[in-house]
Amino acid sequence: MAQFDVYVNPSESASLGIPYVVVVQSDLLDALATRLSIPLASIDFSEKSPEKLCPMVMVNGQSLRALAHYSAPLPTRSLRERVGNLAPQASVLIAAMDLVVSGV
């Protein structure tokens, strides 16, 4: 499981508006049983989100909003279906997390 890997949302009840999550946790923490993840929401779900806090990312041709302020640890065992990796878009995800943590 690599940093910036994208997985199908393990929460069936939330998967309609948030189809995927992206792992933002460093690979150096692989021994932990959880992965810090950002939910990836469909545009309809989050149209009024601030761009820096909720950057647009592309997953398999689908435009989604990364909701950094809803980041949460998920059990590694619940992340089963990998659908891609957002490493090429890492800078916007890290900037969004920086905004959550430092306000800048």
Please determine, for residue 87, whether its predicted confidence score (pLDDT) is greater than 70. Answer: yes
The domains located in the chain, with CATH, are 5-102 (2.30.30.110)
pTM: 0.92
d(CA 45, CA 31): 34
pLDDT band at 103 (very low <50, low <70, confident <90, very high): confident
What local confidence, expressed as pLDDT, does residue 50 receive? 84
Render pLDDT for 23-60 as a digit per residue (tens, 0 to 9).
999 999 999 999 999 999 986 655 577 889 999 999 99
What local confidence, expressed as pLDDT, does residue 15 receive? 84
The whole-chain average pLDDT of the chain stands at 93
